[in-house]
Amino acid sequence: MPDGLQSVPIYKKIDTAAQLTTLVTGVPGRRMRIQALFLSANAGPNSFALRNVGTISTFIFGSVSVPDDNHFVLPYSSVGWGETAVGEGIELLLTFTTSVGGVLVYVEVE
């Protein structure tokens, strides 16, 4: 593979109402590549973004709105929808403290 060793997909459950949640902890020498995402707004509308852990200005992708009782889907992509910097994890940033749930699918790449 062109960008190094790619591990098997890892599934991370999302269940939070916090404005900032670390979904994936960074691994030295590895990037976290997002392959799929399902996010549901359960208790009111919300907006979300995914960013590198600890790097306030580095977003994997920016703000996406999810209406109340609706969901957002990034279907599976083998090449990925975005990835972190080397050694960094993934944070979920919410606009409001309302309940969201879902799943993140990612792989670790060198």
- The C-alpha atoms of residue 87 and residue 64 are separated, in whole angstroms, by 25
pLDDT score, position 88: 93
Closest CA to 107 of 80, 74, 75: 80
pLDDT score, position 97: 86
CA-CA-CA-CA dihedral for 83, 98, 25, 72, to nearest 10: -30
Joined together, the tokens standing for residue 100 give 């969201």
- The C-alpha atoms of residue 81 and residue 74 are separated, in whole angstroms, by 8
Does the pLDDT of residue 2 top 90, yes or no? no
% of the chain exceeding 90 in pLDDT: 69
For residue 11, name the pLDDT band (cuts at 50, 70, 90): very high
- The C-alpha atoms of residue 46 and residue 42 are separated, in whole angstroms, by 9
Joined together, the tokens standing for residue 51 give 């960013």
CATH class of segment(s) 10-109: mainly beta
Does the pLDDT of residue 5 top 70, yes or no? no
CB atoms inside a 10 Å sphere around CB 43: 14
For residue 1, name the pLDDT band (cuts at 50, 70, 90): very low
Closest CA to 11 of 3, 27, 23, 28: 23
What one-character DSSP code corresponds to residue 85?
P
pTM to 2 decimal places: 0.88
Tens digits of per-residue pLDDT, 25-78? Answer: 999 999 999 999 999 988 888 899 999 986 666 899 889 988 888 999 999 999
